[in-house]
Structure 1
Amino acid sequence: MFFGLFAGVDQAKAEAALNVNADGAIMVDGETGKVLYEKNADSPLGVASMTKMMTEYLLLDAVKHGKVKWDQEYTVSDLVYKISQPTGLSNVPLRLGEKYNVRELYEAMAIYSANGTTIALAEVIAGSETNFVKMMNQKAKKLGLKNSKFVNSTGLNNQDYHGEQPQGTGAEEENVMSPRDVATLAFHIINDFPDVLKTASTPMKVFREGTTDRIVMKNWNWMLPSLVYGYQGMDGLKTGTTDFAGYCFTGTASRDGKRYITVVQNAKDISGKNDGYKARFGETKKMLDYAFSNYTKEELVPKHYQVKGHKTLPVIKGKDDQVKIYTKSAINMIIQNGEKKNYQPVLVLDKKKINKDGELTAPIKKGETVGYLTIKPKNGEKVSFLTAEGQQKVQVNVVAAQDVERANWFVLMMRGIGHFFGDVWHGISTTVKGWF
């Protein structure tokens, strides 16, 4: 599900300029969730370890609400021990019966994509991975992820569980998400829990320093500035790779007050071959380079803006017969360079505040909301946002600029008499004109 305004001129230009080599891709503004580019954005595709973003979200939410603490200890279960041992999977070695705290399990998951620690966190939060998968799908529904299905917390193929996968899921199943859903999840994580980027941007960390289980965890996001495909401003978010999903990456980078989120699923090189790490990072770089070069954050509507022809509203039962109205704040939005002139304001008055004749009723307080203002492109095409909340960031309240007190009973009575005789005189004059 996506939320539309009115224009897709930006997307059309991006699609003409970009030919992202992946089964699915999307690029959005990190602040509003405005969609700037998309390819097969609503097709459910493999996500592999990008699944862990949902595990991260549920963990950070549990910590926020005091249900889980960072220093809380966890004792390794049989399943977690078994999953954490294979060197062919992303892992840190966990000892059966050993205790680990939540923070170190989280860092191993977020930095090194460790699968055993991910299941451990699922057990911490929900008691079992089976219960946790139910939570994942419930949260997906709440976040508006319409083309996603979770069967485990890690993104592994269920076959890797060797018959011990979450109950109610099949051995051949894998998690799937559409590019739009992946971007929506990433958008929620970095906006709801911005500290996630502090961990996601850690290029290297040592797990269990000073023990025989010591392991250097190098971040799989090789686009972090100090790593192989370093990119200025890159600070997240999650890679993923399986035979089913191919090479996937959800990236986010920030420069000069602008943040973008990109997603590629089953990325390939220019010849259409899946050449691994280079493809997913190369296609991500292509999108980010385009975004930082071709988009700018513009003030489309200033604070206290008045719409031409609607600078005031009529008022009844007040000491004044009209009131000035203006926007409470400014509207800023990421748009293509040079496109500011192609947007226009749209005023929407609150029908609960005005009568059938479009009049407000006194008393009116300065700052009282009488409607809202949004913007739309003059060409009438369509622009979309990942969430309703994001779309509301390009919508501002329109308020009364001054107080209008209610007139006293005598003034209202005299006005009523004046209106009465005015109506009588109008009726007489109309009748008289009819005689001639």
Structure 2
Amino acid sequence: MKYKYKIASLFMAAFIFFMPVSLAASQNKIVGLDDNVKAYLIGNEESGEVYYEKNADEPMPMASLSKLMTFLVTMDAIKNGNLSLDTKVKADKEAENLTSWQYSSLGVKEGETYTVDELLKGLIAVSGNDCAYLLANTISVSEPAFAREMNEKAKSLDLKSQVYYNSSGIQTEDGHQNTTSAKDLFKLSQYILKTYPEILDYSAIREIKDPARDIDKRSTIPLMDEIKGVDGLKTGTTDEAGYCLVSTVDMVKLDSKDEFRTIGVVLGADRKDTRNKVMSDLIYYVSKYFSTRTVLDTNVPVKSIKDITVKQGYIDLYPKEDIKMIVKEGENPTIKYNIKEDVKAPIKENQDLGEIEISYKDESQKVGLFSKKALDKASLFSRVIRTIKDSCDFLLKTLIAR
């Protein structure tokens, strides 16, 4: 018998070890996630609610994740009419120098022209430092001037931890590095996705090929082919910053109950595999413990109240709106009813009968209550009989309680 128990224990240990994400079920914590990574965060793309985090407010180097701000400032310039996606940009010697082995690049060549659209593809999909440089010097008179625009944009978005020295995120000659906190990077990504959702079209590019220019580059964005729903967004790596990643996920593609999107941020991982594993664990954690729940359904009564004045003896209360909330496993929204005291028959169809308040974490909504159908007034005899019955029931309960 003891031998069977040992075999069963070994089987369970192996099962837990090979799960996509290892979880401490009693506390809903991710086991081992804090190893070899400096900061992380995963939260709801629309509401900004944070589901899990570590050191999320601590500023640290962000490497090529800086290019998210470069993308934003570029798109603002297009929106303001200062350039277009078709604007042609001629590459100079400095841009070609950024195509050396030590930098991620699209591979631009001095003297050749590229459209802004081509440079944005190279910026996001293959993290091209050469593309960042050319965009910066097209929009501003110099890269330091463009960095000032990046800082001004960060300030306008209240991203207090973000400091930019260049458009790419590589360390400057005097040792300066672009910095951010995981939380501010989350907020920046959230803003970009809302303002310029076309960034997902750029991050969806898996390969850039241009044989005439000898360009053949694979996307640097991981997990898009490994985890359903991952559809972006950006990588970043330097010796000082470590391996960094921002991932966007359409959670419903991972689980049909998860009708929401998330943004995950990982900063300062020791290796690429660590970075990818931590992001995977964060995504699977949210998928396991959070789901979209229908809290109110206009076709389902939330409460039936006893009423001796109506013919059927009760009134079904229906909500006027459908309400869905993202709720953590084991938790429930708080429900409060505020039903009108002067309700009496006859009841009209769709008559206002009060309201219901649904609260969960920082989210609170009030929804009206109504009757779906008209209810006739009960006869005098029915009302008298119900009154006598209610009085008898009350008296009996009082005697039993004593």
Structure 2-normalised TM-score?
Answer: 0.69
2:340 corresponding residue in structure 1: none
Q: Within 5 A, what are the aligned runs for 1:346-357?
A: none
- CA deviations on 1:112-144 (whole Å, 9 max, x unpaired) are 111011111112222322221111111112222
- Inter-CA distance 395–125: structure 2 relative to 1 (3 Å threshold): farther
* 1:396 CA displacement: 5.0
- CA deviations on 1:261-296 (whole Å, 9 max, x unpaired) are 1111112xxxxxx2x211100111111111112210
Which residue type is aligned with residue 282 of structure 1?
K
Residue 30 of structure 1 contacts residue 187 of structure 1 at CA under 8 Å; is this kept in 2? yes
2:5 corresponding residue in structure 1: none
1:362 corresponding residue in structure 2: none
Q: Within 5 A, what are the aligned runs for 1:351-366?
A: none
- Inter-CA distance 204–93: structure 2 relative to 1 (3 Å threshold): closer
Residue 151 of structure 1 contacts residue 175 of structure 1 at CA under 8 Å; is this kept in 2? yes
* 1:306 CA displacement: 12
Given candidates 19, 30, 36, the residue that maps to 2:33 is 19
* 1:75 CA displacement: 1.9
Gaps of 5+ in 1: 1-11, 160-170, 268-273, 309-325, 348-370, 378-382, 384-393, 402-436
Given candidates 293, 300, 309, the residue that maps to 1:298 is 293
**Partners of 1:139 and 1:114 in 2: how far apart?**
22
Residue 85 of structure 2 contacts residue 117 of structure 2 at CA under 8 Å; is this kept in 1? yes
1:29 corresponding residue in structure 2: 44
Q: Which has the higher contact order (CA 8 A, sep 6+)?
A: 1
Gaps of 5+ in 2: 1-25, 304-317, 338-354, 371-402
**Partners of 1:42 and 1:23 in 2: how far apart?**
11
Residue 200 of structure 1 contacts residue 236 of structure 1 at CA under 8 Å; is this kept in 2? yes
- CA deviations on 1:15-42 (whole Å, 9 max, x unpaired) are 4657343110101012221100010010
- Inter-CA distance 153–327: structure 2 relative to 1 (3 Å threshold): farther
- Confirm or deny that 1:264 pairs with 2:234: no
**Partners of 1:396 and 1:304 in 2: how far apart?**
18
1:344 corresponding residue in structure 2: 334
Which residue type is aligned with residue 285 of structure 1?
S
1:152 corresponding residue in structure 2: 166
2:188 corresponding residue in structure 1: 185
- Inter-CA distance 330–100: structure 2 relative to 1 (3 Å threshold): same
1:288 corresponding residue in structure 2: 283
- Confirm or deny that 1:47 pairs with 2:62: yes
- CA deviations on 1:289-308 (whole Å, 9 max, x unpaired) are 11112210123455799999
* 1:153 CA displacement: 0.8
* 1:329 CA displacement: 4.7
Residue 29 of structure 1 contacts residue 261 of structure 1 at CA under 8 Å; is this kept in 2? yes
- Inter-CA distance 307–289: structure 2 relative to 1 (3 Å threshold): closer
- CA deviations on 1:158-179 (whole Å, 9 max, x unpaired) are 12xxxxxxxxxxx110011101
**Partners of 1:136 and 1:196 in 2: how far apart?**
18
**Partners of 1:199 and 1:115 in 2: how far apart?**
16
Q: Within 5 A, what are the aligned runs for 1:306-385?
A: 329-339=321-331, 342-344=332-334, 375-377=359-361
- Inter-CA distance 46–329: structure 2 relative to 1 (3 Å threshold): farther
Q: Over the residues paired in the alignment, what is the CA RMSD in angstroms? A: 3.6
* 1:111 CA displacement: 0.9
**Partners of 2:80 and 2:319 in 1: how far apart?**
36
- Inter-CA distance 306–158: structure 2 relative to 1 (3 Å threshold): farther
- CA deviations on 1:138-158 (whole Å, 9 max, x unpaired) are 111222212121111101011
Structure 1-normalised TM-score?
Answer: 0.64
- Inter-CA distance 200–19: structure 2 relative to 1 (3 Å threshold): same
Given candidates 132, 153, 172, the residue that maps to 1:118 is 132
- Confirm or deny that 1:138 pairs with 2:155: no
Residue 335 of structure 2 contacts residue 356 of structure 2 at CA under 8 Å; is this kept in 1? no
1:59 corresponding residue in structure 2: 74
Residue 95 of structure 2 contacts residue 134 of structure 2 at CA under 8 Å; is this kept in 1? yes
**Partners of 1:343 and 1:18 in 2: how far apart?**
30
> What is the DSSP-based 3-state SS (H/G/I as helix, E as strand, rest coil) of the residue aligned with 2:74?
helix
Q: Within 5 A, what are the aligned runs for 1:61-80?
A: 61-80=76-95
- Inter-CA distance 241–14: structure 2 relative to 1 (3 Å threshold): farther
**Partners of 2:208 and 2:171 in 1: how far apart?**
27
**Partners of 2:79 and 2:112 in 1: how far apart?**
26
> What is the DSSP-based 3-state SS (H/G/I as helix, E as strand, rest coil) of the residue aligned with 2:233?
strand
> What is the DSSP-based 3-state SS (H/G/I as helix, E as strand, rest coil) of the residue aligned with 1:205?
strand
**Partners of 2:297 and 2:31 in 1: how far apart?**
31
**Partners of 1:194 and 1:110 in 2: how far apart?**
13
- Inter-CA distance 112–301: structure 2 relative to 1 (3 Å threshold): same
- Confirm or deny that 1:172 pairs with 2:175: yes
Report the count of equivalent residues: 318
Alignment identity in percent? 28
Residue 193 of structure 2 contacts residue 199 of structure 2 at CA under 8 Å; is this kept in 1? yes
**Partners of 1:174 and 1:122 in 2: how far apart?**
17
**Partners of 2:358 and 2:85 in 1: how far apart?**
42
1:218 corresponding residue in structure 2: 218
